[in-house]
Amino acid sequence: MKLFKELDKLLDQDSYNEFYKTSSGKEKLNLQEGERRNVTILYADLKGFTSLSEILDPEQLREIADRILQLFTISIKKYGGYVDKYEGDLVMALFGAKKTTEQDTPRAISAGLSMIEKLKEFNHALHKIEGFENYSFQVRIGINSGLVTTGRVGEKREGDFTVYGDPVNLASRLESNAPVNRIMITQATMEQVNKWFEFDNLTEIMVKGKSKPIPVCVVKNQKNKNVLSEDVHAPIMVGREKELNQIYEIYQKIGKQQDHFSVTVIGIRGKAGIGKTRFISEFLSKIGPRRNILWGEPPRYAQYPYCLFNSLLKNFFELTSNHSIDLEEFNTAWNKFITSLYEDDIFEELEDAANLIANVLGIKTDDPRLNLGTEERKIHLKSAIRLFLTALAVKENKSNKPLVIILEDLHLSDEISREILDYFLTCLDIQELSLDIMIVISYRDEFNLSSQIIDQSQFQEINLKPLGVKQLKILLVNLSKDQEMDEMIIKNLMIKSQGNPLYLREWIKLINNLKDIKVNELPLPDSLNALILSRIDQLPPKPKKLLQTLSVFGEKFSYDLVAKLYQKFDDGNDLKFLLEILTISGFIEKDLDFQSGQFSFTNILIQQVAYQSMLISNRKILHKLAAEIIEENYTERLEDYIYQLADHYKNTDNKQKAMTYLNQAGQKAMFNEDYPQAYEFYSILNKFYQADGISITQLTVKKTPVDNNLKYYIEMLLDLCRVCLVLGYWQETERYLQLTVTYLESQKRSHLLGTAYNEIGKFLLQKGKIQEAIGCYKKAEKIFSDPPDPQQLFITYDGMGIAHTVQSEYQEALNYLQKNYKLAKTTNNLDNLSTVIGHIGIIHNMTGNKQKALKCFFEQSEISKKIQGKKGLSAAYGNIGTLFMETKKNRQALEYLEKDLHLCLEIGDKRGLGITYTNMGIVYFQLKKLKETLSYLNKAKKISEDLGDREGLAIAYGYLADVFFQQQNMEKAIEFINKSLELCTEINNLYFKSHFIEKKSEYLFTLNKISESEKAAIQSRDIAEEIQYYPAYISALSQLIIIKISKVEDRDSAEKLIDQFIEKTKKYKSDSDLQSTIDNALSNINKFINKKWLK
């Protein structure tokens, strides 16, 4: 029957069977008869069979009921419950029958909500079947908690014993009074779980067996995941009232302030154990129920790229961390998210970001944007995250609420995640979007925040300082309850804890486990670490051994991995029991969602102390076993575990695998441009080589022949140099490169030597040693030309092109760029081709060949569109706009500059945006719209100041001087042109220096400072001629002619310069763009001839 097929799609029989599987094939819960314990009871009654009985026979109805009840059972098991019995269409489940915890009731409610959701999915499937469109099933659920008497608890329908007591009867009455598809609980139960769920208003009902009405309420929905993860055993928070009021007041003011920034960033600074996470949790409780609070935290083991936002996205989409997330699962979650949004242009753009968001989550897709070069790929990924966050902010703001984002432990995050946060703030700043967003970040005392966080948001920092004596006493009383302590113990606790509340919590846990020792007789550990170790030592041998084993995985771990590791040295039958002991003892905590199988240490310090307490030999064994389990069970996903494998194997005696995975991890980090992480991996790998007696210094001295092992070492060393160069570790880079080159030259290993020459050329370029860099590149060119190595030659020619451009040797630069053009064409590398064509266009433009330049820029734009390269397309549009600006084609200039402006805003290219603002200011200046000119140039100036971009600032100052000149504000014009020229001199930019000196000459001429004006014109002409910047040369020469004409006594000199001008410009007749510059110059010269010579 088609109905049963649809049901079977919803009911994953494999996962259902998995719930009941143990080593013996059937799970059994053994309880002593007559045991008394606190249990949460769930009653669920299925409704809707009466109407269906008209079209189905009883056997078919029974089969449908069985399948639906199996769906319900999966939900119950998922949240740690046990099915007590089935009675017809009713199911009774118990939570806490085996081990009572304070999370039993919230898990029962979560199970109930899951059951309602599964029934909705079933009804949706039912309505698709012909003849069943108008039929639906409903469920009523009642949940109650209390002290009951238990017998043996059956798992299936034949259960032998059950639970007895008034709480059971009341749960049944609550179910019968509940609205359909809702959960009814008592007020007393609601007060236990109001941190986790939202409720409809309280009411009262009369139930059989009760003389008075019972206050009840109906569950509305589950609160945010952040609140769900709150420590239910946490004591009251002490001593943070001022800080909590401060952050709450900031939250309440969001959206009410007329400030430039729409984003509020709150930094929570404090040392380990001071209570940063607890403080954030209290803040979330204070602001009340919220659906969309985004929350992310990095892992405690080796970080991986985008880890902070990987965590945030997994939490938002409710994707578990311990299994491979497939594309279908993600697409379902993504489509649900998209349909929840309001219609808006930004969301159309967001739909195109699905594959990119999937990539951040570690899901492989065939999206061509992910095959682009590192920079372009990262731009797309960052842009996708920005769109996702912006979309959620828009949605929340339309509900008159700010979007709240929690990013914990920023100090442990990877470089790219921190870069994305900076990028997001930059985009919101430069786009001037009016969005209400609150970002709360936490970090350790020693962590330094980026300037973007401080400068591009309404930033405030809350420093959680150690608690004072009075506050510690209040906390101690709250924690210790019935424990008696004399004043000396309390005083010593104040001293030893140094105001850290975690110390007191761990101390109380320690003394609670000591039954026969008086508190006053117990010495106080000297530090928090010593205290935690004392607590660990109090554990029985097996739980202690397990705790140390868990510490090998880092702060978080999955049950699956732990079970596989534990079975290596134990039968594993008591693993769940041991985990419960560690949970109840406060060492670890489990995810509210049982099915996720995720656990974590309650504090990172506990993990660290447990790990350090192990013998190194035992650590090595456990790391080796953990790594082997990952290799055995995740063969198809090993790439996702490269960092973990490197971290595990580096702590074992298996050097070969350690070095292999460290090298792969370093390469992966480089690929993702996470250079600090790459440096860490390569540095550790380098130490492994040194431990084997391999060092570049020794190789150079001994002139050891290169074998395969040494080849890998040299390649690693060159990668390390590349990383050091990016990070600015100049001395380390130079030392390794020089030793490597010296060694390879002695060995005549040409290919490796050529690679080293390329790297040292790049290093010398950044140091400003241009001639030395060119020398290295020439040596590399010779090596890679025979036989040809296109990839390395491209690097060589690119370096040569840059070096010659810096020295204003444009023709030489063009020659090398043309070679790279052929290489990119031959290898069909469109990314490289786009870049090269853009560089060629820039050289053509600088040498006055504007037609060729324009052709290059348009070709670059087409290639960039084809490969979806946003950075390349932005560069092309910007260059086209600039070229049209220079040739006074203002309408076309604005068209392309507007396109570039949009792309700069999208990719967060603040420097590019500053250049575009400058060029738009120049265009409006040419259109004589001074108001718009000043607006854009001042924006450009502000961005350049923020970035410390001296070149951008020099250009902005220069063109602002021109505006003041037009306004006849000569004092300001001279002031700004001098600032511009100072900066041009500092950065040795001859291109703009020649242009702005010519402008200064004009200003001085207007002020009748003829002698100074003449000196400036000569200087501008000479610089422009030296660098072959012909537009500036023509302008400077014409200005010099005008100065000479103005001097009646210098007519002969003027006529000679005019002859020189005519002779020099003859060869530019074919260049229409340069010809317009010549015509303008001639027009100005003629005006002065008519004025001075033809009176």
Euclidean distance between CA atoms 579 and 330, whole angstroms = 31
Q: Give pLDDT tens digits for 148-173.
A: 876 654 444 344 556 778 889 999 99
- What pLDDT is stored for residue 652 in this prediction? 92
Q: pLDDT above 90 covers what percent of the chain?
A: 20
For the cut 60, the answer to whether the pLDDT of residue 136 exceeds it is yes
- pLDDT category at 31 given cuts 50, 70, 90 is very low
Six token digits for residue 1065: 């410009």
- Region 46-75: mean pLDDT is 81
Q: Give pLDDT tens digits for 443-493.
A: 988 888 887 888 888 899 999 887 776 776 767 666 665 566 666 666 777
For the cut 80, the answer to whether the pLDDT of residue 263 exceeds it is yes
Cα angle: 681, vertex 685, 688; to 5 degrees: 150
* Residues 869/831, Cβ–Cβ less than 8 Å: yes
Euclidean distance between CA atoms 1042 and 1019, whole angstroms = 15
Q: Strands (DSSP E) along 288-412, which ranges?
A: 293-296, 403-407
- pLDDT category at 594 given cuts 50, 70, 90 is very low
- Region 756-765: mean pLDDT is 88
Euclidean distance between CA atoms 875 and 177, whole angstroms = 67
- What pLDDT is stored for residue 343 in this prediction? 64
Euclidean distance between CA atoms 493 and 822, whole angstroms = 75
- What pLDDT is stored for residue 616 in this prediction? 82
Residue type, 768: G
For the cut 50, the answer to whether the pLDDT of residue 364 exceeds it is yes
- Region 1027-1032: mean pLDDT is 78
The neighbouring-strand residues paired with 199 are 219
* Residues 362/211, Cβ–Cβ less than 8 Å: no
3-state helix/strand/coil string of 823-838: HHHHHCCHHHHHHHHH
**Between 234 and 274, residue with greater pLDDT:** 274
Q: Give pLDDT tens digits for 182-220.
A: 999 998 888 878 777 888 878 888 888 788 889 999 998
- Give the lowest-confidence range in 884-898, 970-984, 987-1001, 1034-1048: 1034-1048
**Between 512 and 350, residue with greater pLDDT:** 350
Euclidean distance between CA atoms 563 and 535, whole angstroms = 24
- Give the lowest-confidence range in 70-74, 684-688, 1075-1079: 1075-1079
- Give the lowest-confidence range in 199-213, 616-630, 672-686, 1075-1089: 1075-1089
Q: Give pLDDT tens digits for 655-671.
A: 999 999 999 999 988 88
- pLDDT category at 13 given cuts 50, 70, 90 is very low
- Region 85-93: mean pLDDT is 87
Segment holding 737, helix H or strand E: helix 730-747
- Region 395-408: mean pLDDT is 88
Helices (H), 197-275: 225-228, 241-253
How many other β-carbons are positioned within 10 Å of the β-carbon of residue 115? Answer: 28
- pLDDT category at 624 given cuts 50, 70, 90 is very high
Six token digits for residue 894: 């604005």
- Region 111-122: mean pLDDT is 89
- Region 575-600: mean pLDDT is 76
* Residues 623/649, Cβ–Cβ less than 8 Å: yes
- Give the lowest-confidence range in 428-437, 711-720, 804-813, 817-826: 428-437
**Between 226 and 965, residue with greater pLDDT:** 965
Long-range contacts, 79-82 (Cβ 8 Å, 24+):
79/107, 79/108, 79/110, 79/111, 79/114, 79/592, 79/593, 79/594, 79/595, 80/104, 80/107, 80/594, 81/42, 81/107, 81/108, 81/111, 82/29, 82/153, 82/155
- Give the lowest-confidence range in 291-300, 834-843, 1016-1025: 291-300
For the cut 60, the answer to whether the pLDDT of residue 224 exceeds it is no
**Between 673 and 557, residue with greater pLDDT:** 557
Residues 6+ apart with CB under 8 A from 86: 69, 92, 157
Query: What average pLDDT is seen over the chain?
Result: 81
Euclidean distance between CA atoms 99 and 604, whole angstroms = 26
Euclidean distance between CA atoms 188 and 146, whole angstroms = 10
Of the ranges 14-23, 161-170, 518-527, 1015-1024, the best mean pLDDT one: 1015-1024
- Give the lowest-confidence range in 439-453, 466-480, 890-904, 937-951: 466-480
Six token digits for residue 843: 């050289």
Q: What value does the CA radius of gyration of the chain take, rounded to a whole number of Å?
A: 36
- Closest C-alpha to 403, from 296, 615, 254, 266: 254
Q: Tell me how far the alpha carbon of residue 1039 is from its chain's centroid.
A: 54
The reply to whether the predicted model has a pTM over 0.75 is: no
Six token digits for residue 1076: 């317009």
For the cut 90, the answer to whether the pLDDT of residue 943 exceeds it is no
Euclidean distance between CA atoms 976 and 957, whole angstroms = 5
How many other β-carbons are positioned within 10 Å of the β-carbon of residue 343? Answer: 6
Of the ranges 138-142, 442-446, 463-467, 559-563, the best mean pLDDT one: 138-142
Residues 6+ apart with CB under 8 A from 921: 932, 933, 934, 935, 936, 937, 940, 956, 959
- What pLDDT is stored for residue 659 in this prediction? 92
- pLDDT category at 269 given cuts 50, 70, 90 is very high
Print burial letters for 694-720: b (CB count within 10 Å at least 16), e (below 16).
ebbeebbeeeeebeeebeebbebbbbb
Determine whether 24 is exposed, middle or buried from the number of CB atoms within 10 Å of its CB (0-12, 13-18, 19+): exposed
**Between 801 and 1060, residue with greater pLDDT:** 801
Cα angle: 50, vertex 53, 59; to 5 degrees: 120
Q: Give pLDDT tens digits for 843-867.
A: 888 777 888 999 999 999 999 888 8
